[in-house]
Amino acid sequence: MELRTKNLTAVAAAIHVADAGSFAKASQVLGLSTSATSKAIGRLEEDLGVKLFQRTTRSVSLTPEGERYIEGARPLLMELDALTAEVTDNLTTPRGLLRVSVPAAFGRMVLVPRISEFSNRFPEVELELSLDDRGVDLAAESIDVAIRAGVLPDNASLIGRKLIDDPLITCAAPDYLDRYGVPETPEDLDRHNCLNFRNRRTGRAVPWVFRSGERRLQSGQLTIDDGEAVGRAAIAGAGISQMPGFMAQDALLSGALKEVLAEYRPAETPFTAIYLDRRLVSPRIRAFIDCLVEQLSPRTVRM
């Protein structure tokens, strides 16, 4: 079998340059000089017989052939990395870089406080977290694991493992309820100040959901595009909020918040860890997800 591409380092360099849009930035990640990175890609282009990049003094961009090549090369290198990990680590020693994408609030309040347990168990794994609410493309962005909320669409290229089922809690500070009364039905919320969350990605307020499945846009004096800030406003007595259980849990336990309309709670929201479906899964991916499942299931507190 003839090996058409002899230098895998050059292929990896091309992917880094495509991601960074810069030879200099890619060189820093690779630990090479800019000149060495440029020469490696030049040799790769010569071997392939096509130009992968358009270069100017100010920018670097992929050619159409380069886009196709990077699209195909990226998952192949990820598969090779997993194969190398399986062979060299014998599935027992997780090591190397693990890139994880997680919703911002869930990352700050649930994942980050549990990172030390994983790091203590697996000191040879370098963890890189991206707290981002958008839906990432795991293959295109070289993400090893993504944590996502809600029912996920069918995707043959992804494997999912559920971490928790999280309730949606309608709640307010006791002082607010003492002043304005406790709502008995969702319709009673029309007489209250509801604290709304606006999704930054869509620019729209998120409807509240109740057991019937009805989605209601509530009226109120305050709308915030940060979920944690909405929670803090509720604790401060500004109004009634509906928030994920992981956000409300500590405040409910301390008495800073009190749940209302508990009998109207909607179905719980699943949080799932997803990764690319491939025959060989890196030991660090398995170890990370196993550690999360162990720490999150069952939940320390059921609400």
* Positive or negative: CA dihedral 94, 92, 141, 276: negative
**pTM of this structure:** 0.66
Lowest mean pLDDT among 14-28, 219-233, 287-301: 287-301
Q: Which residue has the higher pLDDT, 177 or 11?
A: 177
Task: Return the pLDDT at 259.
Answer: 96
Average pLDDT over residues 63-83: 83
Query: Residue 6: is its pLDDT beyond 70?
Result: no
One-letter amino acid of 39: K
Same fold yes or no, 8-87 and 168-264: no
Task: Return the pLDDT at 279.
Answer: 61
Average pLDDT over residues 141-169: 85
What is the third-level CATH fold of 94-161+269-296? Answer: D-Maltodextrin-Binding Protein; domain 2 (3.40.190)
Q: Which residue has the higher pLDDT, 152 or 146?
A: 146
How far is Cα 115 from Cα 291, in angstroms, rounded to an integer? 10
Average pLDDT over residues 137-149: 86
What is the third-level CATH fold of 168-264? Answer: D-Maltodextrin-Binding Protein; domain 2 (3.40.190)
Q: Which residue has the higher pLDDT, 212 or 184?
A: 184
Task: Return the pLDDT at 2.
Answer: 44
Domain ranges in the chain?
Answer: 8-87, 94-161+269-296, 168-264
Task: Return the pLDDT at 301.
Answer: 38
3: pLDDT confidence band, cut at 50, 70 and 90? very low
Average pLDDT of every residue of the chain: 86
Task: Return the pLDDT at 59.
Answer: 80
Contacting residues for 109 by C-beta, under 8 A, at least 6 apart: 228, 246, 247
Per CATH, domain 8-87 is 1.10.10.10: yes
201: pLDDT confidence band, cut at 50, 70 and 90? confident
Task: Return the pLDDT at 272.
Answer: 92
Best-predicted range by mean pLDDT among 1-10, 79-88, 205-214, 259-268?
A: 259-268
Q: Which residue has the higher pLDDT, 90 or 121?
A: 121
Q: What is the pLDDT of residues 252-299, one digit of tens each?
A: 999 999 999 999 999 998 999 998 876 667 888 989 999 999 888 655
Task: Return the pLDDT at 283.
Answer: 85
